Structure 1
Amino acid sequence: MGLNIISRRHFLGRTAGLAAGAFAGPNLLLRGQNSASKKLNLAVIGANGKGQSDTQGVTLDHNIVALVDVDMNRLNEAAKKREDHHVKSGQAAPAAPKLYQDFRKMFDEMANEIDGVIISTPDHTHYVAAMHAIKHNKHVCVQKPLCNYIGEVRELHQAAKTAKITTQMGNQGRTMEGQRLAKEWIEQGAIGTLKEIRLWTNRPIWPQGPLVKKAAECPANLDWDLWLSSEAKEPYFEFEIPEGMSGKRGNSLHPFNWRGWWQFGSGALGDMGCHIMDATFSILGQLIPERIDATSSPISDTCAPVWSDLVYHMPAGKHGALKVSWNDGSKDGKPNKPEISPHMTSELAKKAFEKASSGMMFIGTEGTVFEGEAYCGSPVIYNEERYTQVRLDMKAGKIKKTETRSVMPNNPQGEWAHHIVNGGLPSSNFDYSCPLTEFVLLGNLAVRAQQSVQWDKQGMKVSNAEAPNKFVSRPAYRDGWKA
C-alpha cells in the first residue's frame, strides 16, 4: 500500500474542527461489544524487526489498522510478513493496515480509529511516540527500556496514570512462569538466606566504545529526519569500525547499531537490563539502590563502553542489605562474567555456567538459584540435591505458588491486549516497569559519570556529585516532536 502524500500541515489545516473526536476515551471502540468477541484496533510504531514479532503477538486476535516505520522497505516488508503469518496460521489474509512513515501523521489522520499502540522503535523515540499516544488516550505497550533517560520515564509514568490507560513494557520474562518460581523459592527459604546476586550478559554484540562518525549518503528508503525524531537535526552519518571489532552488523546506525549510542540507545545495560535485572527487581521488592559503583572500558560523550562492571548496593527490605553485580561485554577477548557460585561445583553446573552467555545467580546461604538465559524462564537450583528436595516440597505443597500468573506467558503484547479488553493489570504495567527502567538506567548514570553515584529517589538527582545530573533528563527536544 502506498503512502498518502497529503502533508501533515495541510491535513491539520483541513481537520482542526474535528480534533475533539480524536481524543475520545481509551475504550470508545469497544463499547457495546460482547466481551468474547472484542477485537481491538491497534497500531504498531516501528513495524519491522522487534516490531514484527510484537505484531505477531496480537495480530491473530485483533485488528492491526496501522503500521509505521521510517524505512519504506521495512514498512512494506512488515506488512507482507504479517499477511504471511496469518496465512501460515491457517487464517485468511487480514485487511491491509494503513502505512505511515510519521507516527504524528497517523495520529492526526486516524486517532479516532485506534484503541492501542505498540511502540517498538529505537530507544530515543519511545518517549515521544508514547506521549503522543497517551495524549490521544490510547493504551500503550512500549518496548524495553521504556525510555533512555530517567526524567522521561518519570514523565511517561505520570502521564499514563493521569490518562488511566492500560500499559505494558515488552519485557517478556515478566510474563513467564520461571520468574515467579524463582521468587517463590527464595521467599520460602529454598536457598536459605539470600546474600548476593550476580548478573551478566555478552552484549554488546554491536559496536560500542568511542566510535568516530563519518559522512555517508542516506539510503533512499530511509527518512533520516524522521529517524532522528526529537533529536537535533544533523546530516546522515555512519561510523568507522575500530580495529579488532566485528563489522558483522555493518557501520550504520539503522536498523540495529543505534543501541551503542547514548543519544539514541542505552548500551548493553539498557538493552538487556530490563530483561536480566527484572527478576532481581521483583525479588528484592522493587527497591531502588542506595549507591551504584561503576568501572568500564573507555567511553565517550556519544557512545557506551565495550564492557562495564557495576555494583548496586541494595538496602534491606524483604531481604537483608546486599550487593547486586552486573557484568557486560568482553575483556581481552573473553566474556566478562562474574565468578561462578560456590554452590555450583558439579560438572553439570560448571558446564551450564560456561554455556550461559547471559544469566543470573541468586546466591543464598544454602544454595543458588541459577538461570542461564536473560528472561529467568527456566531457573534451577544448585546443588542438585537441594533442587530435588525443592521439587519434592513443591509437590507436597510445602513450597506454595503465591505469585499471580500471567494469562499469556511469553507474550507481553498479547497479555496487554487481553487486559485492555477484560480489565486487570498486565504483568509489566508502568507502575512496575517505570521503576524497573529507572533501576536499570541508574547503572548507565554511574557509567556515564565514571564514578560512584548516590541516588536521591525523591529528588530525582544524584546527591553526592552535581556533574552526573546532566544525564538524568534529555537535554532538548526538536520543535514539533514533544506532545
Structure 2
Amino acid sequence: MQSNRFSRRTLIRSTAMLGAGLAMPLPRLVRAASPNGKMRFAGIGVNGMGWSDVSSIGGYDKVEVVGLCDIDTARFDKAAEKWPNAPRFQDFRQMFDKIGNQIDAVNVSIPDHMHAFVAMHAMNLGKHVYCEKPLTHTVWEARQMTKLAAKNKLVTRMGNQIHSRIEYRLGVRMLRDGLIGKVKEIHSWVGASGAATCDLPAPPDRTDPVPGTLDWDLWLGVAADRPFVNEIYHPFKWRAWKDFGGGGFGDFGCHILDPPFTALELTAPKTIVAEQDGQTATRWPAGVKATYIFPGTKFTAGETVKVVWYNGNMKPGRELVPDMPADQDLPRAGSIFIGEKGQMVLPHWNGPRIYPRDLLASYDKPDLGSRHHWHDWVDAVLTGDVNISDNFAYAGPLTETVNLGLIAVQCEGQTLAWDPAALEITNNAKANGLLTREYRKGFEIKAVD
C-alpha cells in the first residue's frame, strides 16, 4: 500500500480547488483519453456498500481498475484479492496526487458526512463520479454538488440502485400512464429505525485506542474533532449520529422517495412539518413522520400534492388502500399512491400492486427491458452522456428533500416554508441554520459559483 503521508503540494492544491470554481481540468471523452478505450476507475470506499459498488463497476469488461482507496486498510481484503495489481491508498487526496492522471472516474461509497468533500474534490479534478445515497449530508452540500456537476459537464449518478430495477420502473410507467388516475397523495415508509445502528442516547464518555489500520482524523473529516470510541462510529454505526448520518430516513429516503419523484416529476417542497419519537441532541429518533406539500404537476390531481414519509415505529395504516383484499397487508417498506381511480402499493424491491385489480384488465403491460445501474453509468461516461437518469441534477433535489425532512425532525411540530431559489427556510431561523454545517479547519467546502 502507498504511504499515507500527505504532501504539502497536495494540501495546497486541495485547498485551492475544492469547490472554488477556479481553473481546473475538464473531463475528456474517456474513449479518447484511455489507451484501451476503457473507463479507468478508482474506488473510494471499497468495503460494505463500497464493495458492492466497486465490484459491480470494476467487474464490467469496459472498466480498468487503476486504484483503490479506503480509510481503513484492514478493509482492503476483498478488493485487494480481486485487483492485486491496483495501487492502494488510505488518503484519497494522495491517490489523486500520485495517479490522478490515470483516473477517469471514481465511486464515493463512504460515510455520508464526507460525500460532498470527497466527491467535489474529484469533480474539481474533472473526474466523473458515482456517489452513494444520500448524495450529501446537508441541503447546502446537495446544491453545490448539483451545480459543480453541471458546471464541469460531468457524468454523475447516485447510488440508489433500485432506480434502475424493473419493479420501480414499471411502477413509474403505470403511474405516468394514468392507470390509477391522477395522484392525490403519497405515503412512503420503511421499518428502519433512526437508532438502529446504535441505540445509545449519546456517545460514551471515553477514549479508546485508534486501530493502527484507521486514519481517524481523515475519517472525521468535516466533522468536529472527538475521540475514537470502539463500536460507536466505525464501521457503519455512524449512521445513527446526527454529525455523520441521517438515521433510517437518511438511509432509505432517496431509495423510496425515488419513484414519487420520477413518476410525478416532483421538484421542491413548499412546506415540511415533522413529528418524531426518541431523538436526542446527538442521535436520530427511532420513529419519524414527515409531511411535505409539493407543487402539483401534470400527474397530480390538484395544485399541490401531499407526500408523507414514515420510518421506524411510525407507519401508514392499511385503511389508505381501501381496495386491498382483507388477506393482504402493507409491505415492510414502500409507497402508497392514492389516485383518482384506485391505489398503487409499490413495495421496496418488489413489483407494483394495483387496487382494484380490475384496473389491470385493459392495461397493456410494457416491455421495459433490463437496466444495470452501475454499467449504465460506465456506458454514459464512455459516451459523454451527462443526461443519464439519476444524475446529480436529479439526485441533488431529491437529496435536498430528504435533508429538509431531517431538519424538520429537529424542529418538531413547526411547519417550515422552503424557498428553493433562495436556498432558504424563510420562517424559522434555527431550521435555516441547519441547511449547512460548521466545517472543521482544513475540511472546508467552498460554494460553487
Per the normalisation by structure 2, the TM-score is 0.88
Residue pair 1:286, 1:435 contacting (<8 A) in 2 also: no
What does residue 7 of structure 2 align with? 9
Distance 1:209 1:15 in 2: 40
Please list every run of 5 or more consecutive structure 2 residues that lacks an aligned counterpart in the other structure. Answer: 18-22
- Summarize the alignment of residues 185-204 of structure 1 with structure 2, pairs less than 5 Å apart: 185-204=174-193
1:106: Cα distance to partner?
A: 0.6
Distance in 1, Cα, partners of 2:2 & 2:426: 50
Residue deviations 1:94-143 (CA, integer Å, cap 9, x gap): 56211111101111111101000100000011001011101110001100
Amino acid in the other structure paired with 1:312: Y
2:242 counterpart SS class: coil
Are the structure 2 counterparts of residues 233 and 178 from structure 1 closer, same or farther at C-alpha, using a change threshold of 3 Å? same
Equivalent in the alignment of 1:72 = 73
1:276 Cα deviation from its structure 2 partner? 0.4
Please state how far the C-alpha of 1:226 moved relative to its aligned partner: 1.6
Per the alignment, in what secondary structure is the counterpart of residue 213 of structure 1?
coil
Of the three residues 386, 401, 422, the one matched with 2:383 is 422
Deviation for aligned residue 1:295? 0.5
User: Map of 1:352-371 to 2, 5 A cutoff?
Assistant: 353=330, 356-371=331-346
The correspondence for 2:324, drawn from 345, 354, 363, is 345
User: Which residue does 2:290 correspond to in 1?
Assistant: 310
Structure-1 residue corresponding to 2:32: 31
Q: Equivalent residues in 2 for 1:66-465 (5 A)?
A: 66-80=67-81, 83=82, 94=83, 96-204=85-193, 205-208=196-199, 210-215=201-206, 216-238=208-230, 251-318=231-298, 319=300, 320=302, 321-330=304-313, 336-340=314-318, 341-350=320-329, 353=330, 356-373=331-348, 375=349, 377-387=350-360, 389=361, 392-394=362-364, 409=371, 411-424=372-385, 425-450=387-412, 451-465=414-428
Name the counterpart of 1:59. 58
Aligned partners of 1:278, 1:369: CA distance in 2, in Å?
15
Residues 254-284 of structure 1, C-alpha deviations (whole Å, 9 max, x = no match): 1111111111111211110000001111222
**Distance in structure 2 (CA, Å) of the matches to 1:191 and 1:42:** 43
What code does the residue aligned with 2:209 have? Answer: E
For the residue of structure 2 that corresponds to 1:27, the secondary structure is coil
Change in Cα spacing, 1:368 to 1:27, as seen in structure 2 (3 Å) is same
Q: Which amino acid aligns with 1:327?
A: Y
CA-based RMSD: 2.6
Distance 1:287 1:13 in 2: 38
**Could you tell me how far 1:24 is from its partner in structure 2?**
4.4
d(CA) in 2 for partners of 1:15, 1:286: 38
**Offset of 1:482 from its aligned partner?**
4.3
Distance 1:227 1:315 in 2: 39
Sort the Cα spacing of 1:383 and 1:99 in 2 relative to 1 into closer, same or farther, 3 A.
Answer: same
Residue 8 of structure 1 and its aligned partner are, at CA, apart by 1.9
How far off its partner does 1:32 sit? 7.0
Q: Does the 8 Å contact 1:44/1:67 carry over to 2?
A: yes
SS of the aligned residue for 2:306 comes to strand
Identity percentage over the alignment? Answer: 32
Superimposed CA distance per residue, residues 144-184 of structure 1 (whole angstroms, 9 cap, x where no aligned partner): 01101011111111111111111111111221233332233
Distance change >3 Å, CA 4–CA 282, structure 1 → 2? same
Q: Which runs of 5+ in 1 are unaligned?
A: 84-93, 239-250, 331-335
Q: Is the 8 A contact 1:152 1:474 kept in 2?
A: no
CA contact (8 A) 2:34 2:40 kept: no
Kindly name which structure, 1 or 2, has the bigger radius of gyration based on alpha carbons.
1
How far apart, CA to CA, are the structure 2 residues paired with 1:201 and 1:59? 31
Task: Quote how far apart the aligned CAs of 1:292 are.
Answer: 0.9
Q: Write the distance in 2 (CA, Å) between the matches of 1:203 and 1:106.
A: 35
Mapped to 2, the partners of 1:184 and 1:138 lie a distance apart of 33
Change (3 A) 1:363 1:155: same
CA distance in 2 between counterparts of 1:13 and 1:129 reads 14
| One-letter amino acid matched to 2:317 | E
Amino acid at match of 2:272: I
Query: Per-residue deviation at 1:212?
Result: 3.5
**Secondary structure class of the residue paired with 1:254:** coil
Please, which moves more after superposition, 279-288 or 202-211? 202-211
> 2-side partners of 1:51 and 1:175: how far apart?
18
C-alpha contact 1:23 1:112 (8 A) present in aligned 2: no
Q: Distance in 2 between matches of 1:213 and 1:346?
A: 48
Q: Residues 110 and 23 of structure 1: is their aligned pair in 2 closer, same or farther, counting only changes over 3 Å? A: farther
Q: How many angstroms does 1:192 deviate by? A: 2.5
Could you tell me whether the CA contact under 8 Å between 1:209 and 1:298 is conserved in 2?
Answer: no
TM norm structure 1: 0.82
Quick check: 2:198–2:232 contact (8 Å CA) kept in 1? Answer: no
CA contact (8 A) 2:106 2:130 kept: yes
CA displacement at 1:23 relative to structure 2: 5.6
Contact kept in structure 1, 2:117 and 2:445, CA below 8 Å: yes
Distance 1:147 1:32 in 2: 29
Query: Is this contact kept in 1: 2:186–2:335, CA < 8 A?
Result: yes
